Amino acid sequence: MRQVKPIGYIRTDFSTKFGIPRQSGLVKELEGRIIFEPEFRIMEAVRGLEEFSHIWLIWEFSHSAGQGWSPTVRPPRLGGNKRMGVFATRSPFRPNPIGLSCVELKAIEADPHLGPVLHVLGADLMDHTPILDIKPYIPHADSCPEAEGGFSAAFRDYGLEVVFPEKWLGLIPAEKQAALIGALRQDPRPSYQNDPDRIYGFEFAGFEVRFRVADLRLIVCEVAPV
């Protein structure tokens, strides 16, 4: 079997997996850049890709690779108590640790040193995640408006009210504030944890953001440089 190797890596504002939206496209303001490996830094390789508004990213769950898999998993949105078959979920603990994300292609930059750099929006990937392949999203073939969403459909409109005091929000660069608020609204907590006094935190764009959640309201408690 031919060995699969990364064609590049994505750079995002999430240095750990905690806080990352559970699906791509949920927070459209999240920005990312795909940097190709040296052998793929060829502008000809992306010729025509600029005609597409969205692309598929095929990537590796690099931080869960080698940790084994189970035929059933506990999806976070179901509270962490109900088991579903691994192939009915998007759990990272799979026989092959491969992820699939649809993202918006914002621009293709021709960098004199890095070659083609893809600027994307809405990615649900941790910083430096290996990208295995890129394919164009083709609406008439890839979109199925009549598709059923299974148990995930119940959480389609789920979101928290975010209370972000100005003294903390003002520390975040203006161009990243909407993306951070969007990520917080998606409720980064494990679904089986519902302690209104517990303080959670994650790193975003070089800051640690600490918060608590009570009655579907997420209150930011502190923001500090990492």
- pTM of the entire predicted model: 0.91
Burial 5-33 (b: 16+ CB within 10 A, else e): ebbbbbbbbbbebebbbbebbbbeebbbb
Residues 198/49, Cβ–Cβ less than 8 Å: no
Residue 80 confidence (pLDDT): 66
- CB-count exposure of residue 104 (10 Å: 0-12, 13-18, 19+): middle
Strand partners, 225: 207
pLDDT at 219: 97
3-state SS record for 150-185: HHHHHHCCCCCEEECCHHHHCCCCHHHHHHHHHHHH
Task: Walk along the chain (226 residues) in steps of 10 and give the mean pLDDT of each run.
Answer: 89 95 94 98 98 98 76 78 88 90 98 98 97 97 91 78 98 98 93 84 97 95 96
Give the per-residue pLDDT at 3.
83
pLDDT for res 81: 73
